[in-house]
Amino acid sequence: MEIGIIGLGRMGANIARRLMKGGHSCVVYDRDPKTVAAVEADGGKGAASVEALVKALKSPRAVWLMLPSGKITDDAITTMSGLLSKGDILIDGGNSFFKNDVAHGEMLKARGISFLDVGTSGGVWGLERGYCMMIGGEKWAVDHLDPIFATLAPGKGTIPETPGREKGDPRVANGYMHCGPVGSGHFAKMVHNGIEYGLMQAYAEGFNILQTRDDPALPEGQRYSFNIADLAELWRRGSVISSWLLDLQAIALAKDPKLDAFSGEVADSGEGRWTVEAAIEQAVPAEVLSAAVFTRFRSRRDHTFAEKLLSAMRFEFGGHKEPK
């Protein structure tokens, strides 16, 4: 299939590359000509502007936005609404707020343009591992772009299907899902990232307890100098807490056992906050997720090894660089 991609940052460029490796044709645009040239070198067709990108695509067009959430994405959607035509599909693959998706979908629907919100997980590893996608929007548009989603998704790989799910939606086992109407994809991804905050916080606190166990104030004979990098590697193998996040921690600790490259200040992308807000709106308890969000706020005043580990995990899975 043919698709346009606007935004060639940490994930956008690799989305284009994975699609081209899968036999699809990509017309790409970014405000940085160097990133466009880099994707062109891998087989993409570069465009000098969003207008040129739209003109280069055959109708019905599909355009994927991979931009930072907020005003940049909002402005891009408004611009595209004036450039696309009836029957075209516009995709927001970033981390937009689901309530904004609903407004965008209504605005585009009035022009005959279908809107899909695609919560995309995979970070800087997506080119190699594939992207887990949570998709909101009209069924016909999702079905039409199924070859695109199937190529981007990780596929079944070596993970066995859950017993009892043999007759379930085959898309899910391959790593992507049509969640429902517009907004549902980003809502699912928002909660996904809220859970991610909680998991990361649990690892960070546990390793911090281990790292500080050699405190001279503790009784003699009860002080232990753990090799944190070795423990992370150990727990990857057969442990009940093994996970991809633990894999990434092991990588970070192997490179920098004391995490001296990280200040301990931890940013938040906004989705953790939105998850807590949704929990409040629905009167659903979310103690762990709330605490994880507030810990990131606290990290901007007081830093520990735990916060350094949070920063290290964010860098490993998403290439996020914390401010010093």
Q: pLDDT tens for residues 138-158?
A: 999 999 999 999 999 999 988
Q: Could you give the CA distance from residue 316 to residue 81 in angstroms, rounded to a whole number? A: 35
* φ, ψ of residue 61 in degrees (nearest 5): -90, 155
Q: Which residue's structure tokens are 């003699």?
A: 220
109 is catalytic: no
Please state whether beta strands 25-29 and 2-6 pair in parallel, antiparallel, or not at all (unpaired).
parallel
Tell me, what's the pLDDT at 124?
87
Question: Quick one: pLDDT at residue 42?
Answer: 97
Residue 29: which H helix or E strand, with range? strand 25-29
Rounded to the nearest 5°, which phi and psi values hold at 243?
A: -170, 170
- pLDDT at residue 324, as a whole number: 62
Name the amino acid, one letter, at 164: G
CA dist 27 and 2 (Å) reads 8
| Positions of the chain with pLDDT lower than 50, given as ranges | none
User: Of residues 21, 55, 99, 196, which has the active-site annotation?
Assistant: 196
| Residues 104 and 92 sit within 8 Å (Cβ to Cβ) | yes
- Model-wide pTM > 0.85: yes
Residue 176 carries which DSSP code? E
List the structure tokens of 119. 């919560």
Catalytic residue among 71, 161, 167, 189: 189
Name the β-bridge partners of 118.
135
- The rounded radius of gyration (Å) of the Cα atoms in the chain is 21
